[in-house]
């Protein structure tokens, strides 16, 4: 009797912690690589301690052996990772926009190493990603994500997790939305740079003695910064509009899988 009393809460806690860990290791803000490993380890445990009492009445099946329990843990971690990776993939549109702007403006060589990306990326990619992450925090995207994890327990209770059959379609949809978001964010700067290139072409055609490369590079840099300054509010609005629909898209795929 004593073993049964303590075993059920322990199994429940471990399963909840697995889903929280999958989300915290991959989601924006929670999965930042620059956070100390102690914080990244304690955060899922604290969230699991908070949510475990809500799942005691879930009526999950008891694992029969270590292999079965390990499969349950892997399934829970998979659901959390789907939520985290899906949202991270959506916010990657900011990095795509930065890449496009850097290529068009001639500043693609100005790259720095990003701890969060674990790779070198243009400065504009870092700038726009930090803008997207700031908007994500301001609108409460981290709270929406935790709410989405709670909603996932309705569709997929503890111990009854299966891999969503539409996982590949979900990732393709989110990648498409991310690319579309990057194009829309970069559109003002790209249009301004295109008009600047056309104007420089007319000028150098009229006055061949002008060095088009020197003038064009300086003019493109100035136009890029002016276009970003003029459109930063619209960029923040675009990022804000994509967060909640993106989370709903991921939840719909999980519900379909259930």
Q: What is the DSSP string of 64-102?
A: SSHHHHHHHHHHHHHHHHHHHHHHHHHHTHHHHHHHHHH
DSSP codes of every residue in 128-197: HHHHHHHHHHHTTHHHHHHHHHHHHHHHS-TT-----TTHHHHHHHHHHHHHHHHHHHHHHHHHHHHHHH
Q: Write 115-120 long-range contacts (CB < 8 A, 24+).
A: 115/33, 115/34, 116/32, 116/33, 116/34, 118/33
Hey, how many other C-beta atoms are within 10 angstroms of the C-beta on 213?
10
pLDDT for 119 equals 62
pLDDT tens string, the chain, 258 residues long: the values are 444 445 677 888 888 888 888 888 888 888 777 777 777 788 888 888 888 888 777 666 566 677 777 888 888 888 888 888 888 888 888 888 888 888 888 776 666 655 565 666 778 888 888 888 889 989 888 888 888 888 888 877 776 666 666 777 888 888 888 888 888 998 888 898 888 888 877 877 777 777 766 677 778 888 888 888 888 888 888 888 888 888 888 888 777 755
Q: How far is CA 174 from the centre of its chain?
A: 10
- Rounded Cα distance between 167 and 151, Å, is 18
Residues 6+ apart with CB under 8 A from 72: 15, 18, 63, 158, 159, 161
> Is residue 121 within 8 Å of 95, Cβ to Cβ?
yes
> CB 240: neighbour CB atoms within 10 A?
15
């Amino acid at each position: 009797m004593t073993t049964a009393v303590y075993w059920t809460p322990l199994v429940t806690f471990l399963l909840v912690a697995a889903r929280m860990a999958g989300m915290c290791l991959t989601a924006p803000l929670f999965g930042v690589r620059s956070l100390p490993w102690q914080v990244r380890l304690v955060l899922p445990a604290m969230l699991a301690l908070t949510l475990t009492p809500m799942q005691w009445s879930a009526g999950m099946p008891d694992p029969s052996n270590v292999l079965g329990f390990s499969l349950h843990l892997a399934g829970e971690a998979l659901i959390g990772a789907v939520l985290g990776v899906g949202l991270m993939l959506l916010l990657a549109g900011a990095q795509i926009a930065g890449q496009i702007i850097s290529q068009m403006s001639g500043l693609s060589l100005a790259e720095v190493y990003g701890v969060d990306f674990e790779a070198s990326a243009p400065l504009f990619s870092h700038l726009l990603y930090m803008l997207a992450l700031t908007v994500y925090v301001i609108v409460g995207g981290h709270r929406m994500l935790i709410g989405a994890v709670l909603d996932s327990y309705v569709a997929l209770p503890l111990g009854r997790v299966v891999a969503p059959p539409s996982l590949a379609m979900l990732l393709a949809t989110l990648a498409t939305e991310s690319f579309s978001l990057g194009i829309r964010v970069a559109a003002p700067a790209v249009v301004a740079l295109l008009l600047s290139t056309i104007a420089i072409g007319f000028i150098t055609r009229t006055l061949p003695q002008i060095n088009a490369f020197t003038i064009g590079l300086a003019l493109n840099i100035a136009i890029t910064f002016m276009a970003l300054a003029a459109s930063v509010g619209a960029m923040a609005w675009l990022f804000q509009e994509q967060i909640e629909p993106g989370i709903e898209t991921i939840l719909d795929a999980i519900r379909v899988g259930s």
